[in-house]
A = this chain, B = another copy of it.
């Protein structure tokens, strides 16, 4: 099969080819699978850094700074940013802020930014993010920053995808956000309290430390046993003497204050993962999930292809008329 985009061009740093490849992958175009397979042998090198937190914490500014600092420290290492847009799930438009950011970093050939619309079907976002990572990793990016907004599912997804999760907090965002913290703290490898110039940032850092200690306690309690998320399981397999204690940084991203120390800890975390054997385990879990998700897609596609559509519509009508339940209908259809 002829690919519209040459994987070799992507490997050699052709920006246009890379952009096209990501569009192909995002739109799930026919050549998407072929392209990912062609790049896959070259993957497995990138450090995947997730940056997440509630809206209003200044994540985007921090991501911007992180990219700059990562480049300053190691000029031979390329940085890619995947910004998962909080913009329309329907129109998938890019944000103005995103474009401003692009201009700011545009001078550096070692930085590549791509935003992704959070549109599409259930789980589509996680699926696309994984595909973007494959393409960018295969293209030779050494560090891939994945920026996600929001609560709930997005955090679980980033925890299973990234090697290192940076959770961004800010002082005084209200009770609602306080509640979210409890959840995302448990996926944090590093915590950044942004807007350190605002009142209350030290209090926030202290409160986070306390919550973190509580969460750490929980992690090793038997109650955690039933939890299905692999990252957590992996952590509990680590001998206590080499356990990672998430550091808390107070930073002012707008001025770049404290970002250097944060970047140092990001590098330290990568070293920790390698030396503890967790890196390999995380990679294996991630690839297992990728494979299972692809299998699920393929099964559904195969079933759709072989489906007797008239039979399906007849049964759907019986569901609408409450003659059969959806669960009973599955038995009739499979």
Chain A residues close to B by CB (< 8 Å): 33, 36-37, 40-44, 54-60, 84-91, 93, 95, 97, 118-123, 125-126, 148-157, 159, 173-177, 179-180, 182-183, 186-187, 218, 223-224, 227-229, 232, 283-284, 287-288, 290-296, 298-300, 302-303, 315-316, 319-320, 322, 325-330, 333-334
Report the separation of the CA atoms of residues A186 and B223 in the bound assembly, to the nearest whole angstrom: 41
Say yes or no: A153-B330 contact (C-beta < 8 A), given A176-B56, A325-B37: no
Chain B residues near A228 (CB, 8 Å)?
A: 120-121
Q: Which of A85, A224, A302 has the most CB of B within 10 A?
A: A85
Chain B residues near A329 (CB, 8 Å)?
A: 291, 294
Chain B residues near A97 (CB, 8 Å)?
A: 175, 179
Chain B residues near A37 (CB, 8 Å)?
A: 325, 327-328
Say yes or no: A118-B152 contact (C-beta < 8 A), given A55-B177, A56-B56, A176-B55: yes
Task: Tell me the interface secondary structure of chain A in the complex.
Answer: helix
User: Is the beta-carbon distance between B322 and A40 smaller than 8 angstroms?
Assistant: yes
Quickly give the copy total for this chain. 2
Q: With contacts A287-B319, A296-B299 known, what are 17 further pairs, Cβ within 8 A?
A: A37-B328, A41-B325, A55-B177, A56-B56, A56-B177, A58-B176, A60-B176, A87-B179, A89-B156, A90-B229, A93-B182, A97-B175, A151-B154, A288-B316, A292-B300, A298-B334, A299-B300
User: Is the beta-carbon distance between B125 and A153 smaller than 8 angstroms?
Assistant: yes
User: Is the beta-carbon distance between A287 and B316 smaller than 8 angstroms?
Assistant: yes
User: Is the beta-carbon distance between B303 and A176 smaller than 8 angstroms?
Assistant: no
**Selected A-B contacts with CB under 8 Å, 16 pairs:** A86-B180, A87-B179, A87-B182, A90-B229, A91-B223, A95-B182, A118-B151, A119-B227, A151-B151, A151-B154, A152-B153, A153-B154, A283-B320, A284-B320, A287-B316, A291-B319
